[in-house]
């Protein structure tokens, strides 16, 4: 049975927990015993470990007899598919110097994968690469199999280790830290997946041991395609009652895996001194009632399962906003084209539900009105406020509420180019009785001739990267009807980027198999990503801007230092954010360290790299970003120049641009 229930996340794969078993001729009994004990699936060898292809006798025609597995009929197709993950023989060594072993390994691997595919298994666990990472022939054979595998996943077993080993002569007080030999299992995984061309059906199963690498080193794995975490019983501590528990660091790691839909597999023997009576099955969930023939079931790994279930159930429920965003996680979307396209009603409705955004706008307008109009003039002075890009009226409403809150009089011009939204605006004005306060203008703000100057200019033209929905160009066009001392809300905005490992996003882009998709920026709710360094600011725009040499073109060179204890890392692209100052101390943004809470109008933007870049430990990542403009479009170009150069992406806006 699943580990438990979590609000809004009941369909996550991570609520299923498996168990690693030894080979057993009686698969039905093995499966039943573990399912009855509360496990959801078994990670089990499909082949007798004593089998070697070179020992198989030939028949009269010289063909091999293959007695390496039991019949597929011993379980139903649904049982094979839902409750068994195949475990490829651990003796297989495709990079062995022993030619017979190497040949046997290649034959056995192909046979076992073929048999697993015949059984319709969802996944098979591959043995770990040899220590030292010499895995060229292993990767070649797996890559061949991946080309013919369309639905079954292959999980590469990788120990979760990153240690620095020093010889005895280098451990003294005068030892040279550069002489350390680093054993980082991430390097093994990275070499293997590069040789397999980032295949989308190749995943990781991490062996969780008693000691863990640093937090930054662990963080890399959340951007990798990890499907399972195999937790060994030797990793568990003992609580005051003598039962297994995990350290705080292990708990945090397991919880992180739960949040990233990583399944847990319990492996090993009973290493805690627990009485046989205590091993009697107690339900993971209160509605379980497992027994065999009425007798209590005893399973020596049951206490470990119960502890994992406890960790799962005690997790905080997902916030309402996260529940709303579940379906958008790691889903690539093309950014809006606000000038070229008219938004649809459903898009307006989604954005209008973001109460936090409009609360911040109302706060900004209130502060601007109080600064603009002294208390003694509140009853006689009328402030002219123009909402440019009024949509269906949420900023109009927020501005009028600010006026009521501060006791100031307001005259509002609502400027909107979308004729369909204008229809809704007219209906809203009549419904609210705002005819004497609000004038609707059906026009592009860049073309409208205003009858008077505005005291306050309000807009919500910001995109995920700040300027990517052409707020600078639009507000430049609207600036001519703002008074010289007028206020723009927002008054400024800055874009940010940070390097990320995002294997799923890379594979999704790569699946299109063309250049254009690698030169497009995507809006995406980032989830299975590893943020490798703190974000840095890129482009800043300020409004109003009266400079004689004003240009909206920008160029920025950035240097990122990945923390030394992270180890090497693979950069698949860059996550982009923005932060804006609406007015004075009222800000709005999605940059992780300053993000406005409970706001969902903007997801981050993702700039992919055509070729993922490996950044060795201690190397500096040098990145270049350009914002380019022509008479008809605006586009971004980006590249990396260190530690090794990448192509310049999106030259001349050939793949991705925003139309003026």
As annotated, the binding site for S-adenosyl-L-methionine includes 348, 357-358, 416, 444-445
Helices (H) and strands (E) in the chain, counts: 16, 28
Distance CA 174, CA 192 (A): 37
User: Burial code of 605-626, b = ≥16 C-beta within 10 A, e = fewer?
Assistant: bbbbbbebbbbebebebebebb
Q: Does residue 407 come out as left (phi exceeding 0), alpha (psi in the -120 to 50 range) or beta?
A: left
Distance of alpha carbon 624 from the chain centroid: 23
The token pair that represents 572 in the structure block:
């698949």
| CA atoms lying within 13 Å on the CB side of residue 339 | 23
Distance CA 439, CA 340 (A): 25
Catalytic residue flag (residue 469): yes
Distance CA 218, CA 252 (A): 11
Q: Taking a C-beta distance cutoff of 8 angstroms, is the pair 474, 459 a contact?
A: yes
CA nearest neighbour of 256 among 327, 315, 322: 315
Distance CA 411, CA 438 (A): 6
Residue 544: is the preceding peptide bond cis (ω within 30°)? yes
Backbone angles phi, psi at 599, to 5 degrees: -125, 130
Contacts of 241 (CB under 8 A, 6+ apart): none
| The one catalytic residue among 20, 106, 112, 460 | 460
The token pair that represents 422 in the structure block:
């204008």
| The one catalytic residue among 106, 187, 469, 637 | 469
Distance CA 267, CA 249 (A): 19
Catalytic residue flag (residue 460): yes
The token pair that represents 452 in the structure block:
């008077």
Quick one: CA dihedral 148, 153, 157, 162, positive or negative? Answer: positive
CA nearest neighbour of 219 among 530, 634, 659: 530
Distance CA 562, CA 499 (A): 9
Distance CA 350, CA 514 (A): 32
Q: Taking a C-beta distance cutoff of 8 angstroms, is the pair 244, 237 a contact?
A: yes
Distance CA 371, CA 378 (A): 11
Residues marked as catalytic: 460, 469
């Amino acid at each position: 049975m699943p580990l438990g229930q979590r609000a809004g996340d009941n369909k996550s794969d991570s609520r299923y927990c498996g168990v690693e078993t030894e080979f057993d001729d009686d698969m039905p009994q093995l499966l039943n015993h573990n399912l009855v004990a509360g496990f959801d699936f078994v990670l089990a060898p499909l082949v007798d470990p004593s089998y070697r292809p070179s020992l198989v006798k030939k028949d009269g025609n010289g063909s091999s007899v293959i007695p390496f597995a039991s019949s597929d009929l011993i379980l139903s197709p649904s049982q094979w598919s839902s409750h068994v993950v195949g475990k490829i023989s651990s003796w297989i060594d495709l990079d062995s110097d022993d030619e017979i072993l190497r040949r046997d390994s290649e034959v056995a691997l192909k046979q076992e994968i073929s048999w697993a595919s015949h059984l319709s298994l969802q996944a098979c666990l591959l043995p770990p690469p040899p220590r030292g990472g010499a895995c060229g022939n292993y990767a070649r054979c797996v890559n061949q199999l991946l080309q013919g595998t369309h639905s079954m996943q292959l999980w590469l077993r990788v120990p979760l280790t990153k240690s620095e080993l020093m010889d005895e002569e280098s451990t003294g007080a005068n030892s040279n830290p550069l002489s350390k030999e680093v054993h980082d299992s991430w390097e093994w995984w990275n070499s293997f997946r590069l040789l397999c061309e980032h295949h989308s059906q190749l995943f990781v199963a991490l062996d969780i041991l008693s000691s863990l690498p640093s937090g930054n080193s662990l963080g890399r794995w959340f951007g990798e395609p990890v499907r399972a975490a195999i937790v060994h019983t030797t990793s568990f501590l003992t609580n005051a009652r003598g039962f297994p528990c995990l350290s705080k660091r292990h708990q945090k790691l397991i919880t992180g895996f739960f949040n990233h839909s990583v399944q847990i597999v319990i492996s090993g023997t009973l290493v805690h001194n627990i009485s046989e009576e205590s091993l009697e099955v107690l339900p993971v969930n209160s509605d379980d009632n497992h027994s065999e023939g009425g007798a209590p079931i005893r399973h020596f790994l049951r206490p470990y399962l119960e502890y994992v279930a406890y960790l799962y159930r005690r997790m905080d429920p997902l916030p309402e906003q996260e529940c709303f965003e579940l379906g958008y996680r790691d889903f690539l979307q093309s950014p809006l084209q606000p000038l070229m396209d008219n938004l649809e009603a459903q898009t307006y409705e989604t954005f209008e539900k973001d109460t936090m955004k409009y609360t911040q706008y109302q706060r900004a307008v209130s502060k601007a009105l109080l600064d603009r109009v002294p208390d003694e003039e509140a009853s006689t002075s009328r402030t002219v406020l123009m909402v440019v890009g009024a949509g269906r009226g949420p900023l109009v409403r927020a501005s009028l509420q600010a006026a009521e809150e501060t006791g100031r009089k307001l005259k509002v011009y609502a400027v909107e180019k979308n004729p369909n939204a204008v229809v809704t605006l007219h209906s809203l004005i009549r419904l609210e009785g705002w005819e004497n306060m609000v004038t609707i203008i059906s026009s592009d703000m860049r073309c409208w001739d205003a009858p008077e100057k505005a005291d306050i200019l309000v807009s919500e033209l910001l995109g995920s990267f700040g300027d990517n929905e052409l707020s600078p160009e639009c507000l430049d066009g609207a600036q001519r009807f703002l008074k010289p001392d007028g206020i723009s809300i927002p008054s400024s905005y800055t874009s940010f980027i940070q390097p990320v490992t995002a294997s799923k996003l890379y594979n999704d882009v790569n699946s299109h198999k063309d250049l254009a998709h690698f030169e497009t920026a995507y809006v995406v709710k980032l989830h299975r990503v590893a943020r490798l360094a703190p974000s840095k600011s890129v482009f800043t725009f300020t409004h109003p801007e009266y400079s004689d040499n004003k240009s909206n073109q920008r160029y920025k060179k950035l240097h990122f230092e990945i923390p030394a204890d992270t180890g090497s890392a693979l950069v698949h692209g860059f996550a982009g954010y923005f932060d804006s100052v609406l007015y004075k101390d009222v800000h709005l943004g999605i940059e992780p360290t300053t993000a406005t809470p409970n706001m969902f109008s903007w997801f981050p933007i993702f700039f992919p790299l055509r070729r993922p870049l490996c950044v060795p430990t201690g190397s500096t990542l040098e990145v270049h970003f350009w914002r380019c403009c022509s008479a008809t479009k605006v586009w971004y170009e980006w590249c990396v120049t260190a530690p090794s150069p990448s192509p310049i992406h999106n030259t001349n806006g050939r793949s991705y641009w925003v139309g003026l």
